[in-house]
Amino acid sequence: MIDIYQLVGFAGAGLIILAYFLLTEKRLQENYVLYHLLNFLGSAGIAVSAFMTKSWPSMLIFVLLFAVSIYFMFKILKIKPNYKELGR
């Protein structure tokens, strides 16, 4: 029987695969917040699952992916469009 932590891990894996699929199908770009949000949520789910099962190397990888996703979401949200150029 699947416990809640395995379910969270499977959901996280599904989100990361969905993000990769949408990126390779060119439905998302790497500078879209949604791409990084999917990776953020997915890596958080897998990191929780890895922590609860004491799979430390896996947890480390996904905590780092979690941090990278946060960094790029803030970086993308910090960039403001130049509205003067959009009006031309």
The number of folded domains in the chain is 1
The string of pLDDT tens digits covering residues 38-76 is 999 999 999 999 999 999 999 999 999 999 999 999 999
* Residue 46, pLDDT score: 97
Give the lowest-confidence range in 24-28, 31-35, 48-52, 84-88: 84-88
- Determine the structural domain holding residue 21 and report its residue range: 4-86
Q: Using an 8 Å Cβ cutoff, are 33 and 41 in contact?
A: no
| Dist CA 7 CA 15 (whole Å) | 12
Residue with tokens 């960039």: 79
Percent of the chain whose predicted confidence (pLDDT) is above 90: 83
Q: Name residue 18's amino acid.
A: L
Q: Which residues have a Cβ under 8 Å from the Cβ of 21 and sit 6 or more positions away? A: none
**Does residue 86 have a pLDDT over 90?**
no
Q: What is the value of pTM for the model shown?
A: 0.85
